[in-house]
Structure formats: structure tokens, C-alpha cells
Amino acid sequence: MFLVKPRLARFALFGWFAWGFLLLLPVRALAQQPCPRFPAGSTLTAPPDLFSDGGVLTVSFTYETRVDQNGNTLFCFVTDDGTQNPTLHVRPGDLLVINFKNGLSASAAPRGKHAMPDMVVSGSPSDTCGAVTMTSTSVNIHYHGTNTSPTCHSDEVIHTLVNAGESFQYRVQFPSDEPPGLYWYHPHVHGIAEPAVQGGASGAIVVEGIENVNPAVAGLRERVMLIRDNNVPGNPTPGGAVPSWDISVNYIPIPYPTFTPAVIPMRRGEQQFWRVVNATADTILDLQVQYDGVPQPLQVIGLDGVPVGSQDGAGKGKLFTATDILLATAARAEFIVTAPGPGVKHATFLTLNIDTGPIGDNDPQRPIGTITTSGHDDRAAARTLPAKSGPPGPQRFAGLRDAHPTVQRTLYFSEVLSDPNNPLSPTNFFITVDGATPTLFSASNPPAIVTTQGSVEDWTIQNRAGENHEFHMHQIHFLQLEQNGVPVANGQYLDMIQLPYWTGSGPYPSVKVRMDFRGPDIGDFVYHCHILGHEDNGMMAIIRVKPSDDARNNHAPGQPQPSKAAATAAAAKLPPGDLPAKALQPRQE
């Protein structure tokens, strides 16, 4: 044990189960291997926690890699003391500083299917953010779901590149009205996002204070879980029970074909607050808890980082009960689980089968964890949420439900073979504003949509393809309004929403969502399918939010101030689909 290098000492926090695992490994392997992983069947432990202090959380991250025993390339962000992908806890209004270094060697390759070495992603010197030329080692960090600025050194992913051996500082200012809840961070370099995320370079971000919005969670012990995916060893043909990807929970694999679940301890009679990130690149999840085969009620507190009920009316949190929670790729769910009673023999946390469409992946039902009960708390592995300490803070999307949309747009997902005569040719993936020409993503593409700060827009998003796509909006959340033209009774504030596949006939499946550009964030950012294999192959586009006249007259230091002429020119070049608002039907509540 004394030979363990400091970077591993942090694992002491993981508790006795983790120590038991570590002691079984050769010390040499421990000391030299970055991105450690647990064996199948391990007991769930929380990711290490780092908390802000005095309004700032400063961490140093080094990007590391290795190849595991299955031939899969792993990636991780590691702090100076060896903590791997910690959970970053901040409060609304805090500053997150990440002193980041890409620790890969220049020859390291992510083995991505879509790597595009030497692609220049920064079109002009003014667009440069970090390195200019993409290599197979390039990386950056996206702060998924956070309502933070899309500028260089903040949550910018179009031009930011940090190549092997290079350093870069992130200074991410969280707004004071950030909803308290669960967010996450992951690499977002177009072309190699899928292998980087599947390699496991991701962690949770918790914006603190949810107990003040919904006191139902005060004093509960929490379980932060990140579910990731990766290649199935041997690459068996997906179908039936054979998944397209293996999954893991907090680095405990649940491998095909045994699907050995992780172990999740609970105290008898206990309620726990589960905070689950779908941190997979490509795998859609549908979470359920079953006791002796009977689905259990899950009390949903928050989705995609926004507490249920927090943006409407008095801003008080609500909860609703569900027996399963569809979790699009990159989505998050926060919910209360009640421990099984004494008569329950088999208590299982699982994901249900997903119908992804005739050309989609195979995401079959499989267990994630087995819930065990005892008479004591699993103190080493779970934090207890504090008591309610004050009223809810201001909320970023307050009033959006009753806001009047100024623009309506229609967008759609589609995909075609790159060679229509060759069914084995690669697929091109598109997200397109209706009426425009489908275009593969490039960092040098002009914005597909131009809007103005202060606007509120209703977007209808269609799926014209034979597989599910998962829409993600950067920088803001949207309000769910309609599904297939029918108003949604309990519309939530999301940054992810699934578009089910089109059968090939009849109307295209669609959702209608309300976009909120009333906030402070201006500039260029992206929207895309968060099945990262699709995003890497083109399914992403740029939106530009121009500052409002008010903002131009009182612009904050350091923010771009476009000339009147530039603003007029941009307005004159609005792409097709930029239609003026039509007379709107009164919205049904």
C-alpha cells in the first residue's frame, strides 16, 4: 500500500470496496496506468467531489489516455493529485477555472472512425481559440447544459482546440440565475467527439442549491451516476441481446453477454436522491427500478439540470412520479428512489429496450445495478444533501412559458448514403433549416440561423430519417411545447430531446420547443444530434445570436460590438426558414 503513488491515494476516499479492488491489482499497474477502471460486479462508489470556495472553483486537469485489455482506447481528465473526472460542485454565480493541459503524446491517436487530422477548424486568425489545426490528439471541454458564455476560454466548442502538449485556461462564469441541478463536462471536438466520450473523459457538474427549490431532497443521501458506453469487445454484430455498445456505471462495466450489474447499497427504509447522467456517446437509456419484476415509482425532481416546476409561477419545485425515465444521450435525470422492503428478493436498476428505428443502434434492455439493503448507511460512497438554507434563487428561464414567440422555424434531421449506389458507403448526417440545402457541419460554415438577443422563438424539429436522433441545444434550455403537433401537458425545460424515427410514410415525427434568447449570451454556438457518431459525421450547425440594440448601446466590456452596417448585412442574409412570426394559436395549458 505504501508503494502507491500519490495520484492513487485519492482512491482512499472510495471506501473499502474500492480498496479491496485496488489491492488485488499489481502495484506496478496501479502506479503506471492512467484512467483506472473497476471490474464488473463492483460496488458503486461516487466520483470524487470538488467544491467551490468563496465563489471560485479552481482545478488543474490533464487529459490522459491508455488502451485497456479489450483494445478500447480510454481517456480521462486527471487533477494534479490524481483525481479522475471529479464531480465539480459550484453555486450559481461562481467562477470555474480549469487550468487544462493536453497530456497526450503527439503520436497518440484516438482511433476514432471519424478523425480528421490536419483539418483546419479556425477559419481566420480572429476565430482562433487555442490551436489552429486539428490533429488526432485535439481536445476541448464542453460544459453541457450550463447557461454560460459561448466565447473563447468559456463554453466554446466550434474553434477551441488544445493539442498534445499544449495548455489552455478555461474561465467559466456561471450566471447567478443558473438552475440548481445536474450538468456535465466532456470533450467536443467535431470529428472525434464520439471516441473521446466513449473513452470516458467526462464528469458531473452539480450546481448547488436544489434543496432550496425542492426541500423533498434535503437531507437525503445522493448517488451521482455517470453511465458511459464503449465498444463491445470482439465487435459482435448487434441485434437481439447483442448491444451496439457496452455500458458502464461510474466506471463499473456491465459487459455483454453476462451483463453483470454493479452493486448499489441502500439502508433499509431509506430514500436516496439519484442523479444520473447519460454520459454515453450513442446509447439511449430508459431508466427503471424493479422490485421482484414490478416497476417502482420514481419521484422526478429535475431533468437536464432544471428542477421540475422551478421556472414557472412562484418557482417552487414540484415532483412527478414515473415508472421509467427516457434518458436521451447526454440527458440527466434527478429522482428519489425508495429502498426495497424486507420481502423483496430481487431489486434491480435497469435500462429498458429502446426502439431506435430500422437503421438505428441496438440498445437492448439490460441491468445497470443490483440494489442491496442493510441496516446501515453506505457513508463512504454517498454525500448527504444539506438542509434547506433559504428561498430559491432567481431562475434563468422564468416566464418563458408565457413569453410571446417572435419567430417560428422548422428544422429537420436527415441522413443519406454518401454514395447512393453503394449501401456500404458512409452515411452523411444533416440537421437543416427547412428550405435550406442540407450541409455537413464545418467550423467555417456560416451560421444556419441568425437571431437577436432578447428574442423568443418556437422551433418545430422533425425527424425525416429511419432512426432516432437526439436534439441538443448549447448555451440555453428550451421549453417542451408539443409532440407530433399535440400540446405536451407537462412540458419541461430541457437541453436534450429525442426525435423518434420516421417509418417512411405519414407525417414526420416532430417536437415543438420554445427557445429563450433573452439571456446575456451572444455570439456563435451550435445545436446538434447528441448521438455523437452522427454529430461527428455532420449533424451539427451554428446559430448566431446578435446583441440587441440595448446591449449594443450598453455593451459589457470584452463583448463584441458589431457595427450597425454588419448587423444590417447579417439581417439581410437571413437563411430560408427565418420566417416572421405567424398568428399564433393560443397555447393550451
C-beta of 54: minimal distance to Cu ion in Å? 42
C-beta of 146: minimal distance to Cu ion in Å? 22
Q: Residue 389 contacts by C-beta under 8 Å, 6 or more apart in sequence?
A: 211, 212
Nearest residue (CB) to Cu ion, 129 versus 499: 499
List, as one string, the DSSP characters of 196-263: HHHTT--EEEEES-HHHH-GGGTTPEEEEEEEEEEPPTT-PPPBTTB-SSEEEETTEEE-TTT-PPEE
Q: Among 534, 537, 543, 547, which residue sits at the site for Cu ion (rule: CB under 5 A)?
A: 534
Q: Among 266, 511, 531, 543, which residue sits at the site for Cu ion (rule: CB under 5 A)?
A: 531
| Residue range at the interface with Cu ion (CB under 5 A); choices 364-372, 495-503, 524-532, 570-578 | 524-532
C-beta of 261: minimal distance to Cu ion in Å? 28
| Residue range at the interface with Cu ion (CB under 5 A); choices 87-95, 111-119, 316-324, 522-530 | 522-530
| Residue range at the interface with Cu ion (CB under 5 A); choices 201-209, 246-254, 324-332, 523-531 | 523-531
C-beta of 147: minimal distance to Cu ion in Å? 24
| Residue range at the interface with Cu ion (CB under 5 A); choices 15-23, 74-82, 277-285, 528-536 | 528-536
Residue 63, φ and ψ in degrees, nearest 5: -85, 120
Nearest residue (CB) to Cu ion, 284 versus 371: 284
Nearest residue (CB) to Cu ion, 260 versus 428: 428
C-beta of 434: minimal distance to Cu ion in Å? 18
Nearest residue (CB) to Cu ion, 328 versus 531: 531
Nearest residue (CB) to Cu ion, 223 versus 469: 469
Q: Among 371, 529, 532, 545, which residue sits at the site for Cu ion (rule: CB under 5 A)?
A: 529
C-beta of 284: minimal distance to Cu ion in Å? 10
> How many residues form the binding site for Cu ion (CB under 5 A)?
4
Q: What angle do CA 471, 476, 477 make, to 5 degrees?
A: 60
C-beta of 463: minimal distance to Cu ion in Å? 9
Q: Give the per-residue SS3 of 79-102.
A: CCCCCECCEEEECCCCEEEEEEEE
List, as one string, the DSSP characters of 451-510: EETT-EEEEEEEE-SSS-EEEEESSS-EEEEEETTEE-TT--EESEEEEPPP-SSSSPPE
Nearest residue (CB) to Cu ion, 491 versus 500: 500
C-beta of 65: minimal distance to Cu ion in Å? 26
Pairing assessment for the beta strands 252-254 and 262-267 based on DSSP bridges: unpaired
C-beta of 541: minimal distance to Cu ion in Å? 13
Q: Which of 323, 559, 585, 347 is CA-nearest to residue 458? A: 585
Q: Which three cell numbers stand for residue 283?
A: 446509447
Nearest residue (CB) to Cu ion, 284 versus 325: 284
Site for Cu ion in 51-70 (CB under 5 A): none
Pairing assessment for the beta strands 347-351 and 221-230 based on DSSP bridges: unpaired
Pairing assessment for the beta strands 469-473 and 496-499 based on DSSP bridges: antiparallel
Secondary element (H or E) of residue 18 = helix 16-24
C-beta of 469: minimal distance to Cu ion in Å? 3
The b/e string for 469-496 (b: 16+ C-beta within 10 A; e otherwise) is bbbbbbbbbbbbbbbeeeeeeebbbbbb
Site for Cu ion in 453-492 (CB under 5 A): 469
Site for Cu ion in 380-399 (CB under 5 A): none
Position 188 contacts Cu ion (CB under 5 A): no
Q: Residue 35 contacts by C-beta under 8 Å, 6 or more apart in sequence?
A: 64, 65, 66, 74, 75, 76, 78, 84, 199, 200
Binding site for Cu ion (CB under 5 A): 469, 529, 531, 534
